[in-house]
């Protein structure tokens, strides 16, 4: 990936040049309103991800969290099927240690979470573990409003 930036008059011009790949993802928007809580962790070990999710789960009294391994170099995705207002979900995800800050800012601008469900060069996201909870879920994957095709940086 190459990054070029320069100033032109009173404007900053930034240009990324990189190979991209088209992937499929799921948005957090739910039929009937609200959002599923979604987290993305990049380049990290399993232990801090699990500790961060358990801490967040306890603090916010969340139901079970499904943890997937998104790529072999230490990437994880997590889903919690708790119907949550958008602003509350931002509070929960941004308050979780280790979440990719780029993921938070990008999703905050779009006003929904999105996680990749297809391969981007290192395999499909795969179920890793379930973080149990006594709190009940109140929605399911059947309540997702839509899937999306988008481009992302190609994995080497």
- Domain positions in the chain: 21-153
- Write b or e for each residue in 126-136: b if 16 or more Cβ atoms lie within 10 A of its Cβ, otherwise e: eebeebebeee
Q: Phi first, then psi: what are they for 137, rounded to 5°?
A: -75, 155
pLDDT by 10s per residue, the chain, length 156: 677 888 989 998 888 787 887 889 999 999 999 999 999 999 899 999 999 999 999 999 999 999 999 988 889 999 999 999 999 999 999 999 999 999 999 999 999 999 999 988 888 999 999 999 999 999 999 999 999 988 776 665
CA distance 39 to 104: 9
Q: Where are the beta strands (DSSP E) in 2-97?
A: 2-8, 11-17, 20-27, 35-41, 65-71, 75-84
Q: Is 93 helix (H, G, I), strand (E, B) or coil?
A: helix
């Amino acid at each position: 990936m190459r990054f070029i930036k320069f100033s032109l008059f009173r404007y900053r011009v930034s240009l990324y040049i990189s190979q991209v790949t088209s992937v499929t993802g799921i948005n957090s928007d739910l039929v009937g309103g609200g959002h599923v809580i979604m987290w993305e962790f990049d380049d990290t070990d399993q232990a801090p991800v699990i500790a961060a999710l358990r801490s967040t789960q306890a603090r916010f009294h969340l139901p079970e969290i499904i943890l997937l391994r998104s790529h072999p170099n230490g990437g994880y995705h997590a889903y919690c099927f708790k119907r949550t207002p958008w602003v509350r979900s931002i509070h929960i995800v941004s308050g979780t240690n280790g979440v990719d800050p780029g993921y938070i800012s990008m999703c905050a601008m779009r006003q929904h979470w999105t996680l990749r469900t297809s391969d981007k060069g290192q395999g499909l996201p795969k179920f890793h573990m379930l973080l149990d909870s006594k709190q009940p879920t109140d929605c399911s994957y059947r309540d997702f409003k839509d899937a999306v095709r988008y481009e992302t940086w190609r994995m080497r």
